[in-house]
Amino acid sequence: DTEVTQTPKHLVMGMTNKKSLKCEQHMGHRAMYWYKQKAKKPPELMFVYSYEKLSINESVPSRFSPECPNSSLLNLHLHALQPEDSALYLCASSQGLLGNTEAFFGQGTRLTVV
Amino acid sequence: AQSVTQLDSQVPVFEEAPVELRCNYSSSVSVYLFWYVQYPNQGLQLLLKYLSGSTLVKGINGFEAEFNKSQTSFHLRKPSVHISDTAEYFCAVSRIQGAQKLVFGQGTRLTINP
């Protein structure tokens, strides 16, 4: 199984809503990542988890809150988002922290904030 | 810090013609190099990677890339493209030592015309 599964595939939420994005992998990878991708732009790193501990937070606003409940799961909790937060949110995992290990990406969650 | 420049934002090519997508990088430390492909409404998929050894790297779907250290380039090539190759292509680097993230270029949109 070389898949990273993200749910939901699409999400529309209001600016006062609270929602969560979910990411799951069963490859035994110990590093997991959240990326944000705006249209016609490359992915931008948001968070890195290594061995279930937050390793990097790329100065992401606190309305985005990551959580790694176990080595297979990564969540992104969303609260009080703005319309400019609408984007494709990609989850990725790798065997260890990047170097010679490949990152596997999920299909993404397309988020629209109204 | 590392940076990646993809010199062409869009490349239109006729079907069965050869194509080259250009990528240059800048880094004060040694890096690994990657090419990822993103099909419409999909996540990213690894095409190929250069870690060490032979500078000519072969990947999936008939793509190959050549690492040129003196020119700090990692151009992607395919001798004969198909309609199904229409996608966004991203060049990326990660540090060899202490890497925790991929640094992406801006992407090249490859459009195959019949």
On chain B, the residues whose CB falls within 8 A of the CB of A45 are 101-102
CA A70 to chain centre: 15
A99 in contact with B, Cβ within 8 Å? yes
On chain B, the residues whose CB falls within 8 A of the CB of A107 are 42-43
pLDDT in tens, chain B (114 residues): 889 999 999 999 999 999 999 999 999 888 899 999 999 888 999 999 998 889 999 999 999 999 999 999 999 999 999 999 999 999 999 887 766 788 999 999 999 998
The set of long-range contacts for A54-57, using a CB threshold of 8 Å and a minimum separation of 24, is A55/A31, A55/A97, A55/B100, A56/B100, A56/B101
User: In the predicted model, what is the mean pLDDT of chain A?
Assistant: 93
3-state SS assignment for residue A83: helix
How sure is the predictor about A2, in pLDDT bands with cuts at 50, 70 and 90? low
Helix and strand numbers (H, E) in chain A are 0, 11
Chain A neighbours among B 18-57 (CB < 8 Å)?
32, 34, 36, 41-46, 49, 51
Q: Measure CB to CB from residue B100 to each of A97, A102, A104 and give the nearest one.
A: A97
DSSP assignments along B40-91, one per residue: TT--EEEEEEE-SS-SEEE-GGG-EEEEETTTTEEEEEESS--GGG-EEEEE
Q: Measure CB to CB from residue A102 to each of B46, B90, B107 and give the nearest one.
A: B46
On chain B, the residues whose CB falls within 8 A of the CB of A105 are 36, 43-45
How sure is the predictor about A99, in pLDDT bands with cuts at 50, 70 and 90? low
On chain B, the residues whose CB falls within 8 A of the CB of A102 are 34, 46, 49
Contact, B4 vs B25, CB < 8 A? yes
Per the listing, tokens 């949110």 go with: A89
